[in-house]
């Protein structure tokens, strides 16, 4: 029987990001990598309720040279010690690469679905950018959550639920599913 999952974007959802001129940027060094309050506890609640937790993150700084795999892996190692994701999926491409894994395309979610035997129609995605919501839609997720920080960029379209934090998403997922 297939598992259900909650796909979680990294920067702005799990950890803080730097916002410059209304646009979010990922930390590039372990010293700048700060997990947001309540994230570990929220993810544990999902796991206790039977959900797989999967981190899905675009990290284009790998392609542009602003980030190294070694640096990224050190951040993800620190993250894994506190958050215990079932799987971490990374796209290191830039838009010009036209890959199938970079959100808003559903590749990361589809790969995770195969690796963990996931039922996407019973799964959710949580993100802070339009591309996260779109990846959830394209992969057939049951619901998409948008943490709205008011970034100066494109907004999501279609069906999604706007929230203020990962904690609020988890409360909605585990509580009244009629809001989805």
**Cross-strand partners of 126:** 8, 145
CATH number, domain containing residue 66: 3.40.50.1000
Owner of token pair 């993800």:
76
Which residue in the list 9, 61, 86, 128 is annotated as catalytic? 9
Task: Check residue 176 and give its pLDDT.
Answer: 58
Quick check: is 19 in a domain? yes
Quick check: is 117 in a domain? yes
Which residue in the list 11, 61, 128, 132 is annotated as catalytic? 11
Task: Check residue 1 and give its pLDDT.
Answer: 58
Residue-wise pLDDT for 107-122, tens only, equals 999 999 999 999 999 9
Quick check: is 177 in a domain? no
CB neighbours of 94 closer than 8 A, spacing ≥ 6?
A: 60, 63, 64, 102
97 is an active site residue: no
Quick check: is 106 in a domain? yes
Quick check: is 178 in a domain? no
Residue-wise pLDDT for 144-180, tens only, equals 999 999 999 999 999 999 999 999 999 999 995 544 4
Task: Check residue 179 and give its pLDDT.
Answer: 47
Task: Indicate the pLDDT class of residue 137, thresholds 50, 70 and 90.
Answer: very high
Instruction: Supply the range of the domain harboring residue 26.
Output: 5-172
Quick check: is 21 in a domain? yes
Quick check: is 59 in a domain? yes
Q: How far apart are CA 119 and CA 147, in angstroms?
A: 23
Q: How far apart are CA 47 and CA 51, in angstroms?
A: 5
Task: Check residue 177 and give its pLDDT.
Answer: 53
Q: How far apart are CA 12 and CA 29, in angstroms?
A: 16
Mean pLDDT of 93-101: 93
Quick check: is 180 in a domain? no
Total domains, the chain: 1
Burial classification of residue 45, based on how many CB atoms lie within 10 Å of its CB (0-12 exposed, 13-18 middle, 19 or more buried): middle
Residue-wise pLDDT for 5-32, tens only, equals 999 999 999 999 988 899 999 998 899 9
Task: Indicate the pLDDT class of residue 2, thresholds 50, 70 and 90.
Answer: confident
Tokens representing 167?
Answer: 């904690």
21 is an active site residue: no
DSSP summary character for residue 15: B
Across the chain, mean pLDDT equals 93
């Amino acid at each position: 029987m297939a598992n259900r999952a909650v796909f979680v974007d990294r920067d702005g959802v799990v950890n803080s990001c730097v916002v410059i001129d209304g646009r979010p940027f990922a930390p590039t060094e372990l010293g700048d990598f700060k997990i947001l309050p309540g994230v570990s506890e929220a993810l544990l609640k999902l796991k206790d309720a039977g959900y797989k937790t999967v981190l899905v993150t675009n990290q284009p700084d790998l392609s542009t040279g602003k980030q190294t795999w070694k640096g990224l892996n050190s951040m993800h190692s620190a993250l894994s010690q506190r958050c215990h994701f079932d799987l971490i999926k990374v796209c290191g491409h830039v838009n010009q690469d036209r890959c199938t894994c970079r959100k808003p395309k559903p590749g990361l979610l589809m790969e995770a679905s195969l690796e963990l035997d996931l039922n996407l129609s019973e799964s959710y995605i949580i993100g802070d950018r339009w591309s996260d919501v779109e990846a959830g839609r394209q992969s057939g997720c049951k619901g998409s959550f948008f943490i709205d920080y008011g970034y100066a960029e494109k907004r999501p379209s279609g069906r999604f639920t706007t929230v203020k934090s990962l904690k609020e998403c988890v409360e909605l997922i585990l509580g009244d599913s009629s809001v989805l």
